[in-house]
Amino acid sequence: MINRQNLDQFLRRTTVLWILVFAFVIAIIGIIIGLMYDWRIGASLAVIVLIGMIYSFARLQRINNDTEAYLNQLAVQVNQSQEEALLEMPIGMILLTDENIIKWINPYMAKYFDPQEMIVGRKLAMVDDDLAKLVAKHRHDDQTSVVEWQDYKFELQVQDQFNTVYLTDITDYEEISDRYQREQLFLGNIFLDNYDEITKGMSDSMVSNLSNYVTSQLSQWAKDHDLLLKVIDDDNYLLIGHNYSLKTLENENFDVLDTIRQNTSQQNSPVTISMGIAYGQSNLIRLANMAQKNLDLALGRGGDQVVVRMESGQARFFGGKTNPMEKRTRVRARMISQALRDLMNQADNIFVIGHTRPDLDSIGACFGIRRLAEMNDHESWIVLDDDETNHSDIERLMGEVDNYQSIKEHIINPEEALKKATDASLLIMVDHSKPSLSAFPKLTERLANRLVIIDHHRRGEEFPENPLLVYIEPYASSTCELITEMFEYQPRESKGLNRLEATAMLAGIRIDTKSFSQNAGTRTYDAASYLRSAGADGKMIQYLTKETPANFIQRNHLIDTAEFIDDAMAICAGADDQTYDSVIAAQAADMLLQVSGIQASFVITRQSPDIVGISARSIGDFNVQVIMERLGGGGHLTNAATQIKDTTVEAVKAQLITELTSDQEAESETEEE
């Protein structure tokens, strides 16, 4: 009920009362003036004012009483509505004491409990322990929380100050939302990576048999998973399905890739498949564009894998279990060389930049690009930070550069490069494709629309949006190999590689192939032969790659710290207060693979005061690239690495072990299914 005193206070605060006071003051002034002229006029005015005041106050009192009656009636209606709402509205309500004893529940809430059970007067935990835990967990939440209880979904809100719990059953709405999400369309592009190469020497009947087999396998796979498969070309298919089918495909790790590859391998025609799948978008045109981008990413990573990604989400990778096969041709090398020459002709300044903490492949590639520019009558600049050249092999190489003025005078620091850069400049990224890994990301950002990428690592999710030219070949042993092939298509009258440039590039190939024991194909040996003929010095390579006694001791110390997971993976961790050369870490990882039974090795070291790095290697049965990508790095199936800032060696080690064990658990579950 409305308090009368409060109502009187409310009315006294209104402007009506002030108007009456103002009128009374004016009337008194009028009476005084009237008495000054004639007492009868003043008396008459006084009588009139008195009558008016009596009437006004009487009227005001009546308004007061009427208002009070109206508010009291309104309060009764509100209270009745509130009581009715508590009893009838589809919202569960529980009143608790400070000790979590149930004082009262409304009828809607009561239907979720056993009608034969006494509820009121008992502790909530004794009535339903699960609900008590949910209330305790969300007691201090600022907003409502969606929880599951008794196979239903509720919006839970706890008013802590009133010890009141509200539960709204949203099961039906959640089912509608889940159904909508499950039945949304996904779109996929399927591409046979090496179809042209495999069928090139086949007869028509063999090509037809192979094509029919692959199409039959894909069609049956699509039918089993309620998918629509449409043949676009001999090596291209369109895939459409619902999200619930996509979830099943992910759980099965897209095993159709393994099935087709293994069965065609038995016929000496191993076909590998790449897929780009996009979802989470109602606009089919944007969905198709995203699917194509995902396919490009899968192909850029070497093929034989699936990339699943929504427009604003992170990519998920499946497959990629085998080393990519040689697919690049000399025709493409010639086309890339011509395209690069055209871009150089259009640029006012040419910059070439490697990755942070460069190795011999990165520096050698920079030397090679500078020479290519010079052979086409263009000046170019190698962007190099002196603080980043602290590898023992790079320090020795830069010492040799002092004897080659033509190279030395074209090496500039990042700040100078940023000053020289214009909108017409060209930036060539070598041995990496992630802008964040560039030796100077600000320059990469400044020339984001004027980028050329030449790399042999598998393409990662992070990638420049609008590069002018992309030459990524995961099948190549090194970036130096790719650049060496371009020299064949340069003007004959131009001066070719000098001794130091050829040596640096051959050293880059040798380091990345572990002295030609890994990832070395026929094209690798062709490139090495060309560099030898250009003057590459084997003795200088030995000098550059020699290690100091301190490095030798450090490497052996790292190996002494080896720990083993399931006798198949080795992990070494250096001291957190000691800085290790990344070359030492890489060598330690390589040596661990020589241990019987070891399929993968990981060496964790502090590379600088604020960076901890991991060098990862495998013999091919375990994909270390995927693990390194989860930790922000990248690389190849058998050779990958990452760098993590502002952390400790022990923290990185724990994070790595978590990733490895979770990956093994996922594989075990897949095998059991």
Q: Binding-site residues for Mn(2+), please?
A: 355, 359, 361, 431, 456, 512
For residue 129, the Cα-to-chain-centroid distance in whole angstroms is 39
Q: Supply the DSSP symbol for 156.
A: E
Give the C-alpha separation, 55 to 103, whole Å. Answer: 53
In contact, 439 and 358? CB cutoff 8 Å? yes
In contact, 643 and 633? CB cutoff 8 Å? yes
Give the C-alpha separation, 592 to 415, whole Å. Answer: 40
* Torsion over CA: 148, 149, 153, 155 (sign): negative
Give the C-alpha separation, 89 to 77, whole Å. Answer: 17
Count the alpha carbons within 13 Å of 235 in the hemisphere toward its beta carbon: 14
In contact, 354 and 483? CB cutoff 8 Å? no
User: 498 forms bridges with which residues in the sheet?
Assistant: none
Residue 553 corresponds to which amino acid?
I
Q: What tokens does 236 get? A: 């291209």
In contact, 184 and 279? CB cutoff 8 Å? yes
What is the full DSSP assignment across 319-343? Answer: E--SPPPP---HHHHHHHHHHHHHH
* DSSP H/E element including 224: helix 204-224
**Residue ranges of the alpha helices (H) in 518-601?**
522-533, 538-545, 549-560, 582-592
Give the C-alpha separation, 485 to 523, whole Å. Answer: 9
Q: What tokens does 470 get? A: 């992309």
Q: Which residues contact 122 (CB under 8 A, 6 or more apart)?
A: 101, 102
Give the C-alpha separation, 194 to 210, whole Å. Answer: 12
* DSSP H/E element including 213: helix 204-224
Give the C-alpha separation, 82 to 88, whole Å. Answer: 10
Q: What 3-state DSSP class applies to 463?
A: coil
For residue 584, the Cα-to-chain-centroid distance in whole angstroms is 30
Q: Name the residue among 433, 452, 514, 439 with its Cα closest to residue 477.
A: 514
Q: What tokens does 180 get? A: 């909508």
Q: What tokens does 435 get? A: 């802008």
Q: Supply the DSSP symbol for 459.
A: P
- Other CB atoms within 10 Å distance of the CB of residue 139: 13
* Sheet strands side by side (includes 273-279): 228-233, 236-242, 185-192, 273-279, 305-310, 316-319
User: Pairing between strand 411-412 and 380-383?
Assistant: parallel
Please enumerate, by residue number, every residue annotated as part of a binding site.
Answer: 355, 359, 361, 431, 456, 512
Residue 386, Cβ density class (10 Å: 0-12 exposed, 13-18 middle, ≥19 buried): exposed
